[in-house]
């Protein structure tokens, strides 16, 4: 055989082998493998989170529930469960899945990242509440423990996400939620503060938001019958169908005391009138709340509007010898008690 042909027969497989190595180590194949690995991790974490949430809701996790919620066929779910068991993240007994200690730790880490992202997207990015859940789902899988800790600290260690669900601590502690009462179980005359808005049913959640209800809002029930629930927050009236009202949970409070009419939002404070800060609204969370506290907007502090904007927004306020600018929507979170003396 001609020596050149002989060398060529050896050279071609060698070149192909080198191209294959490059393809999977540095070329497009490496990106494909990395993407496949990420997708497998996301699926695993979604399964852990789902099993944890099903356990919390008192619904036994099994392969059929996982198939429906994760949109997988049964063979794919069985392969996923086998992976989870091999990594000692779940155990299966009589077809029911339960998380191991390590599985629960991992699930809580993903849930913590998700709910912190929801807090950030709602408070700082000003994203519509009906969109934050899907966006947080995309971001929760790409953070290290250190990055989640940093986000938690930057947001001021919030206790709940925008829907009212508790945010796990860095130690994996999840606050108890036994104080929830479904809105449709309240009686006329009862009063409570909204603690949770269920977003698993998008249409119901969209209607709740359209009505103007929010976590932290103080409401009282005026009417509750088979068809509807009528609420009031002393300024507005809300009418919800029973099927919608069951997606709202409240913490029952003592009978209503006479509201203090002297406490108003800072944005409504007349010019050159001094006021004492009473509290910051619970709706104000994350970076904004932390910034307010850093600026000295704390209970008992004196504040007054000093400079008016011809365009009305923002407005300049003086406190502790410092001039700060706040927009009207920011000032609406700060409740103050006006004093009778005007600033000269």
Task: Report whether the peptide linkage leading into residue 174 is cis, meaning its omega lies within 30 degrees of zero.
Answer: no
Cβ–Cβ < 8 Å for 163, 199: yes
DSSP secondary structure of 9-52:
HHHHHHHHHHHHHHHHHTSHHHHHHHHHHHHHHHHHHHHHHHHH
Alpha-carbon distance of 243 to 35, in angstroms, equals 41
Helix (H) or strand (E) holding 220: strand 218-224
User: If pLDDT is split at 50, 70 and 90, which confidence band does 29 have?
Assistant: very low
The answer to whether the pTM exceeds 0.95 is no
In this prediction, residue 31 carries a pLDDT of 45
Alpha-carbon distance of 234 to 155, in angstroms, equals 31
- Span 194-203, average pLDDT: 89
What token pair was written down for 154? Answer: 């930057």
In this prediction, residue 26 carries a pLDDT of 54
The per-residue pLDDT for range 230-266, each reduced to its tens digit, is 999 888 899 999 999 999 999 888 765 556 778 899 9
What token pair was written down for 10? Answer: 């050896």
In this prediction, residue 44 carries a pLDDT of 93
Q: What is the three-class DSSP state of 296? A: coil
Helix (H) or strand (E) holding 341: strand 334-342
Residue 204: count of CB within 10 angstroms of its CB: 20
Domains of the chain listed by start with CATH number: 181-253 (2.30.30.90), 264-342 (2.30.30.90)
Alpha-carbon distance of 26 to 30, in angstroms, equals 6
């Amino acid at each position: 055989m001609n020596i050149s042909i002989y060398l060529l027969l050896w050279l071609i497989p060698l070149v192909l082998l080198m191209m294959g190595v490059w393809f999977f180590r540095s070329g497009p194949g490496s990106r494909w493998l990395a993407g496949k690995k990420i997708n497998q991790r996301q699926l695993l974490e979604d399964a852990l989170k789902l099993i944890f949430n099903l356990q919390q809701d008192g619904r036994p996790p099994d392969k059929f529930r996982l198939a429906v919620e994760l949109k997988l066929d049964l063979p794919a779910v069985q392969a996923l469960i086998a992976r989870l068991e091999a990594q000692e993240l779940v155990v299966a007994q009589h077809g029911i899945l339960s998380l191991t200690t390590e599985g629960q730790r991992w699930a809580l880490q993903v849930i913590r990242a998700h709910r912190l992202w929801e807090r950030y997207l709602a408070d700082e990015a000003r994203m519509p509440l009906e969109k934050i859940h899907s966006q947080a789902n995309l971001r929760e899988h790409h953070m290290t423990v250190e990055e989640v800790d940093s986000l938690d600290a930057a947001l001021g260690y919030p206790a709940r996400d925008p829907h009212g669900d508790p945010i796990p601590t860095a130690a994996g502690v999840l606050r108890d939620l036994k104080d929830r009462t479904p809105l449709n179980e309240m009686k006329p005359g009862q009063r409570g503060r909204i603690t949770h808005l269920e977003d698993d049913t998008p249409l119901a959640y969209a209607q709740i938001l359209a009505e103007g209800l929010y976590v932290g809002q103080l409401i009282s029930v005026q009417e509750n019958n088979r068809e509807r629930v009528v609420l009031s927050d002393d300024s507005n009236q809300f009418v919800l169908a029973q099927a919608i009202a069951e997606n709202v949970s409240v913490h029952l409070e003592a009978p209503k005391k006479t509201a203090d009419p002297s406490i108003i939002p800072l944005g409504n404070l007349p010019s050159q009138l001094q006021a004492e800060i009473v509290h910051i609204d619970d709706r104000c969370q994350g970076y904004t709340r932390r910034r307010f506290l850093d600026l000295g907007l704390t209970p008992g502090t004196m504040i007054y509007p000093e400079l008016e904007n011809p365009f009305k927004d923002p407005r300049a306020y003086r406190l502790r010898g410092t001039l700060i600018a706040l927009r009207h929507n920011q000032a609406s979170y700060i409740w103050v008690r006006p004093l009778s003396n005007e600033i000269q």
